[in-house]
Structure 1
């Protein structure tokens, strides 16, 4: 990560773009989760019947190389790359994405000479709180400039 620090005004100015980025990321993560559950469901269904067929084909010397999960696994791999790229975009902007859903974003800052994190939680209209690096979200306090 870079050494960027934000003022409260800078963090609030960046917030609309971060909210849009977060919505894209959440949609991708939801899509990934749905496809992953679908893959698990199909594997469970295929399980015993596929194993019996594989044994029969291997005994008979037949191995056609068809993977019934190849396409779905490929889509999952691609979605994972997209999710990783979206997460990296937050880092490139100098912010810390702490949680995807609900969204939780920290902005490194200096307040009264102390390194702190200005924090925003999804659903909040604007950024109004901060906490120390050690306290985390539970140690949130009202920002004096909010």
Structure 2
């Protein structure tokens, strides 16, 4: 498992935010089209049947698949970097980080300007705590030449 210093994680935020936005937009677009198709199905049911432009419905299904693929690709790119996507809707990411011989997770959510929280693997988001000097010390010492 790749681990990050707080500085390394912080430097990745612009790229990760861009990938997250792409995933969120793709998910929302797919959901919007799915909602339209669901409404069409409801209208067909209530009317006891109706004429439907099959080509349009097929095109919409293809669009849904394309949007879903964008979401999958974006999440895969984030995962390939070594960052964990915890919640696409809120843009919640965790960065494995080694502190005091233990792996913990630096925690960042879309809209936060910097990484200011961490939690243990067991505690999850509910156990978020402010980043303390241990993280900054590790970051500074890992940047010193040997």
Classify the secondary structure of the residue corresponding to 2:24. Answer: helix
Superposition RMSD in Å: 1.9
The reply on whether 1:114 has 2:112 as its aligned counterpart is no
Q: Residues 1-146 of structure 1 correspond to what in structure 2 (within 5 A)?
A: 3-47=1-45, 49=47, 51=49, 66=54, 69-144=57-132, 145=135
C-alpha separation in 1, matches of 2:100 and 2:129: 14
Classify the secondary structure of the residue corresponding to 1:133. Answer: coil
Name the structure 2 match of 1:62: none
C-alpha separation in 2, matches of 1:125 and 1:95: 17
Classify the secondary structure of the residue corresponding to 2:25. Answer: helix
Name the structure 2 match of 1:61: none
C-alpha separation in 2, matches of 1:16 and 1:106: 15
Deviations 1:61-102, CA, capped at 9 Å, x for gaps = xxxxx5763221121122111211111111111000111121
Q: When the two structures are superposed, what TM-score results if normalisation uses the length of structure 1?
A: 0.82
C-alpha separation in 1, matches of 2:28 and 2:18: 15
Q: Which has the larger radius of gyration?
A: 1
Aligned length: 132
Name the structure 2 match of 1:59: none
Give the Å deviation of 1:15.
Answer: 0.8
* Runs of 4+ residues deviating >3 angstroms: 48-53
Give the Å deviation of 1:114.
Answer: 0.6
C-alpha separation in 2, matches of 1:108 and 1:18: 15
Change (3 A) 1:52 1:105: closer
